[in-house]
Structure 1
Amino acid sequence: MPFTRREVFKLAGISALAALGRTSARESAGNAVGEDEDVVIQSGPFSAEQDSFKIYSCPEWFRDAKFGIWAHWGPSSAIGEGDWYARNMYMEGSRQYQYHLKTYGHPSKFGYKDTIPLWTAESFDPKALIRRYGEAGAKYFVSMGVHCDNFDLWNSRNHRWNSVRMGPRRDIVGEWREAARAAGLRFGVSEHVWASYNWWETNKGADKQGPYAGLPYDGINPANYDLYFPPHSPAREPWAEQGNESEAWKREWFLRAQDLIDQHQPDLYYEDGPIPYGRWGRPLVAHFYNQSLRWRGKLDVVYTAK
């Protein structure tokens, strides 16, 4: 069957990208992220430079996959009071605050960290669920990787607060991935933690009235800053990059997101917001695309942002 001129050029471009991917796989070092020589991305045609993304082309599988299912499931599911429970339970007078006070006690004594063991996932059967999703017509499945509660749902190399070490003590993302791939579904992950730095500053507060007035919530304890974040300048709003985020946090975000990509090799990566943090965000996308070339010999993945 003869090819059109456009198809010939497209095939040539795909072949060139695949060759670059195979070359980069043999290299021992990637490209450093800014001045951080110990933080590198996979070598390849994509880089932190915005123009490098002009060669990207959406893979055919995603163009054809009109229906996918996403599981927004994590520690707060065991409580059942909403996915913003971790934030709102520290807001005096809110519905979640009232529920927490009545059910578990005051947030100064029983904080979000103390609810994590309640999520045991004892009935979690990803194979059965994926089978039902496939029967419903889903072509891909997306597992939540980490929500704004700063709790990783895989065997995180860079964060002790994760589902393998605590809570269900299972690699939730990994089990979803294995079930989806076995059923022939494309697999994706979602990441929401970039916004947590400001989203979760409520855990540093205290009641303004009543019997607990002035008693700080448990987020003020330095022993748990790696979950709750250290104190920092106040945010203007909970869901936006605001310039007060520390470089240490941006670096941690990058390393954890990179680890999620490298361990689970998703077909799709969903960022719950814009590409974060400039010189840290674009290299992450570049790393993901370059890794696709290394894993599969072609550009076959999708990065999508809200």
Structure 2
Amino acid sequence: MPSLVSGRIGDRKPCPRQGDWYARNMYIQGSEQNKYHVAHYGHPSKFGYKDIIPLWKAEKWDPEKLMALYKKVGAKYFVSMGTHHDNFFLWNSSLHRWNAVQMGPHKDVVGIWQKEAKKNGLKFGVSEHLGASYTWYQPSHNADTSGAYKGVPYDANDPAYADLYHPKAKADDRGWYTTDPEWQLTWYKSIKELVDTYHPDLLYSDGGFPFGDIGRDMLANFYNGNVAYNNGQLTAVYNCKQPSQGMWVQDLERGVQDSISAYPWQTDTSIGDWFYRTGQTYKSGTDIIRMLVDIVSKNGNLLINIVQTPEGDLEPDMLNTLDEIGKWTAANGEGIYGSRPWKKFGERPENAVKVKSDNFNEDRMKYTAEDIRFTCNGNKLYAFLLDTPTSDIRIKSLGKSSAINIKKIRSVKLLGSKEKIQWQQEADALVIKKPLNLPAWKVSGFRIELAD
């Protein structure tokens, strides 16, 4: 959920609309966001991020309508921003005055999203980016090193706002997570309040597992609270960007695994920028669908950031992308929801470049019609082609002499089509004659029924 708003106050636009990390970069002299801020608001010693926050009104936000749309698109769980690195809470906090109930839209954003998610039968989660906030905000304590305001401290140096910008960190405290023990305890209390108030099914931390023993106390509180809230059953999911042996679900930001993982995992990516930016471009529905299929074939889930305008609505290009995804999931969802990875995740062209599991590798993944991904559910095997085929389809893993598939094939159906599919199981491959009328989408799914 964006934390900035657009509109006009007199002749001045009150919202930057300049994308992610604005609250940090506006304090870095010479950055594009700093230049924008100075040009539109003045110097950050006089007009800081604290002055941006009250401008957010979210006057076009319609959570009921949006949640119904997300369900139609095919979402099974919804994750609300709890707080980003800017230390502005989107819930009704009794611990922190900088929150969306007391300022900006004057709405309990997390609580409202929770209500709508539950009403639509979606699991509900929250993301917290607070752990990194202490060091992330440190540029706000600096001053320009040149120009008319050289040496003039930015507004974070005013102790009246230390609860937003944090105290100035020690010179050697510059990691993603601070070593400051007082802040670590503040983080714990804040996340405990969030979890104890809203009982999320999922909690996401933006980084590796935070703060050692304090982090373990946080996780224990989350898991134990979930057990108590769910009549003795643990249903909670915790995400962070660190592998574990089943203690939590690893998240890859804008990245995918290169093989089937023994443990469930998650990719989080965005259809556009993470926060609204004027002129941004959006991923197409095909881009998202390809990622979804690839990820699910490797035992993962996909969490998609839906970029709202600061007013709270969606742009036409975003709606087009969501519409494309929704039409595809309506026809192909049986091969995604409730499915499991097969014996192998799929087939790749012989000359395909191997992309290692990592964060931020999604742009290096190039998909073709020779890229096939498998999922399964009982005796149904699903084979997805990641681009439109130009000739007959050969699935080598399903040939009669294949060492992988030892079951007889009973039938082949193109999902989303009534056309009778012609196929033949040869020694080296299952050969599917190219359908006469492929669906409108580029990613085609085939249901292949195997003998018991």
Residue 76 of structure 1 and its aligned partner are, at CA, apart by 7.2
CA distance in 2 between counterparts of 1:234 and 1:176 reads: 39
Equivalent of residue 116 in structure 1, options 53, 70, 76:
53
Deviations 1:184-237 (A, max 9, x none): 111000000111111110000111111111111000000000001112213564
Residue 169 of structure 1 and its aligned partner are, at CA, apart by 0.6
CA distance in 1 between counterparts of 2:117 and 2:162 reads: 35
> Higher relative CO (CA 8 A, sep ≥ 6), structure 1 or 2?
1
1:304 equivalent in alignment to 2:233: no
Deviations 1:140-193 (A, max 9, x none): 110000000000000012111100011111000001000110011110000001
1:85 equivalent in alignment to 2:16: no
Equivalent of residue 3 in structure 2, options 62, 74, 86:
74
Aligned to 1:282: 216
Aligned to 1:129: 66
Aligned to 2:135: 198
Residue 74 of structure 1 and its aligned partner are, at CA, apart by 2.2
Aligned to 2:111: 174
CA distance in 2 between counterparts of 1:288 and 1:215 reads: 43
CA distance in 2 between counterparts of 1:234 and 1:80 reads: 32
CA distance in 1 between counterparts of 2:172 and 2:52 reads: 26
Aligned to 2:91: 154
CA distance in 2 between counterparts of 1:135 and 1:242 reads: 41
Cα pair 1:76 1:85 within 8 Å, conserved: no
Letter in 1 for 2:209: I
Deviations 1:215-272 (A, max 9, x none): 11000000000001112213564x52253x2x22111100100010011110100010
CA distance in 2 between counterparts of 1:139 and 1:264 reads: 18
Counterparts of 1:27-46 in structure 2, within 5 Å, are: none
Cα pair 1:76 1:82 within 8 Å, conserved: no
Letter in 2 for 1:240: W
Counterparts of 1:10-21 in structure 2, within 5 Å, are: none
Cα pair 2:24 2:136 within 8 Å, conserved: yes
Cα pair 2:16 2:37 within 8 Å, conserved: no
Cα pair 2:4 2:17 within 8 Å, conserved: no
CA distance in 1 between counterparts of 2:176 and 2:146 reads: 29
Letter in 2 for 1:113: K
Deviations 1:103-154 (A, max 9, x none): 1110000000000111101111111111110110000110000000000000
CA distance in 2 between counterparts of 1:275 and 1:125 reads: 34
Aligned to 2:80: 143
Q: SS of the counterpart of 2:194?
A: helix
Aligned to 1:188: 125
Letter in 1 for 2:217: P
CA distance in 1 between counterparts of 2:103 and 2:143 reads: 27
Query: Unaligned 5+ residue runs, structure 2?
Result: 7-14, 242-452
Aligned to 1:240: 176
Residue 275 of structure 1 and its aligned partner are, at CA, apart by 1.8
TM score, norm. by length of structure 2: 0.50
Aligned to 1:58: none
Counterparts of 1:55-66 in structure 2, within 5 Å, are: none
CA distance in 1 between counterparts of 2:169 and 2:69 reads: 45
Residue 73 of structure 1 and its aligned partner are, at CA, apart by 2.5
Letter in 2 for 1:305: C
Aligned to 2:204: 270
Cα pair 2:5 2:57 within 8 Å, conserved: no
CA distance in 2 between counterparts of 1:291 and 1:76 reads: 35
Deviations 1:70-111 (A, max 9, x none): xx4223784311120000000000000000001111000000
Q: SS of the counterpart of 1:280?
A: helix
CA distance in 2 between counterparts of 1:92 and 1:289 reads: 43
CA distance in 1 between counterparts of 2:4 and 2:91 reads: 13
1:106 equivalent in alignment to 2:43: yes
CA distance in 2 between counterparts of 1:76 and 1:274 reads: 31
Deviations 1:30-61 (A, max 9, x none): xxxxxxxxxxxxxxxxxxxxxxxxxxxxxxxx
Cα pair 1:157 1:256 within 8 Å, conserved: no
Aligned to 1:52: none
> How big is the alpha-carbon RMSD for the aligned residues of Structure 1 and Structure 2?
1.4
CA distance in 2 between counterparts of 1:153 and 1:187 reads: 15
Q: Which runs of 4+ in 1 moved over 4 A?
A: none
Equivalent pairs: percent with the same residue? 49
CA distance in 1 between counterparts of 2:73 and 2:44 reads: 41
Letter in 1 for 2:124: F
